[in-house]
Amino acid sequence: MSLRYQINLRILFSSLCILILGGSIALWQARTAVDKEVESSINLAVKLIAFGFSKVEQNTQPEKDWLSQFNTLKETRHLNIQLKQPSGNILNLTHSNVSEQLDNIPPQWFINLLDDGQYQVEHQISAINGITHTLIIQANPLDEITEVWEESLGFFGSFFFLTLFTFLTVNLVFNKAIKATNDIVDALQAIENGNYQHMAAGGSITEYDIIAKAVNHLAHELDLIQEENRALTQHSLEIQEDERQHLSQELHDELGQSITAIKVMAVTASHQKADINLTTEGIVDICDHVMKVVRSMMHQLHPLVLTELGLKATMEDLLNHWTARNPELSLTIDCPDEVDHLEHKITIQVFRIVQECLTNIVRHAQAKHALIKLTIKHDANLQKTLFLEVNDDGKGCAHGKIKSGFGLLGMRERVKSLGGQFTIQTSPEQGMKILASIPL
């Protein structure tokens, strides 16, 4: 069920409830008003007639003549007045036909709702000659009911047009809202299909404009992330090709030449006049060199000490390596023994992150001291998290001017691949702090 249909249905239901409740109250008040109006007219007529009788002079049928004159008043048009003489004879003085005087007679069902048929009174009056008459007044409330009918038509007509205006206004607003919604949905579908250039139109509705801006910002960020991932992938492929080329060069230059030299020495040793001891020493030296080259290549590909001795020993060996090459840089490590029991996929990523951090510190930071700190903490749910902090006292930079190099992108992606969070804190001349949290 669409939102437009639900809103229209609720408006219709509310309007019907208001109509029924308002109509019931209006009919109840109209019936009360008709009763009061008729009762007031009857009482006024009784008082006027009684007053007139007390002043009429004795002559031939004075009561009838005076009542006929009273009946000519406009205010008595809905009253039927009869005079019952002491002899029992009833004089029908008036016979009002209100329906013939009205142009807009209400429907019968409306008259039945308001007319209870109890509008008749009998009143004893005495003439000046002392004779007592019975005055019978019967009221016809059709005049008042007609007035109520006309007022009700005005009320319900106004209510109908107000409800219609409400429907039109709501649907006009919904047309704008639905158009803005369709634009936002189209933009989200474009994002789903990888088209981050499609922008959602905000429109004149503030809330939808905010949503459209948020969707456009999301598309822009996804576009940037896609560009970064594309560049990082390209860079990774280039590094892979460079490593292959380097390994191929090492194998050709070092291993190929060394094996060729060993072969030549072995052929030389087969001669009778060859110096076996000298040839053997040469082969041993070449083998030592080959072993050193192989260890270097293996360390570049994957540090064996990480598998054999664990993360802590590997980190300490890495810091010793950098300290030997950069004696002016003081490196400190704070690492518990518990890190040696982490999964291999986590330890290798942490090692590569620290390795990249130290490379950046040596190349760019101009720092005197750097701290590498690893801690494992437990939360209230007994979940363990590994926290990595690499802090230096180098020149730092403004946070908005951090260059999104491949080193930082690579570190960020390594942490994200483990489901962690990666943060950089830096300011000019205040050094830089790399923070990473990895759930275990």
Has residue 43 been placed in a domain? yes
Asked if residue 176 lies in contact with residue 205, where contact means CB atoms within 8 angstroms, the answer is: yes
Average predicted confidence (pLDDT) for the chain: 77
pLDDT of 57 higher than 50: no
Has residue 47 been placed in a domain? yes
Cα distance between residue 396 and residue 83, in whole Å: 116
Has residue 250 been placed in a domain? no
Per-residue pLDDT, averaged over 178-184, amounts to 78
pLDDT of 277 higher than 50: yes
Q: How many CB atoms lie within 10 A of CB 101?
A: 12
- Binned at pLDDT 50, 70 and 90, residue 190 comes out as confident
Has residue 192 been placed in a domain? no
**How far is the CA of 398 from the CAs of 395, 433, 435, in angstroms?**
10, 13, 17
- Binned at pLDDT 50, 70 and 90, residue 387 comes out as very high
Is this structure's pTM higher than 0.85?
no
Domain that holds residue 56: 3-168
pLDDT of 97 higher than 60: no
Supply φ then ψ for residue 330, to 5 degrees.
-95, 120
DSSP 253: I
Percentage of the residues of the chain whose pLDDT score is greater than 70: 78
Cα distance between residue 33 and residue 49, in whole Å: 24
Domain end, chosen from 131, 147, 168, is at 168
Has residue 236 been placed in a domain? no
CATH of the domain at 46: 3.30.450
Per-residue pLDDT, averaged over 291-314, amounts to 77
pLDDT of 358 higher than 60: yes
- Binned at pLDDT 50, 70 and 90, residue 388 comes out as very high
Per-residue pLDDT, averaged over 383-406, amounts to 78
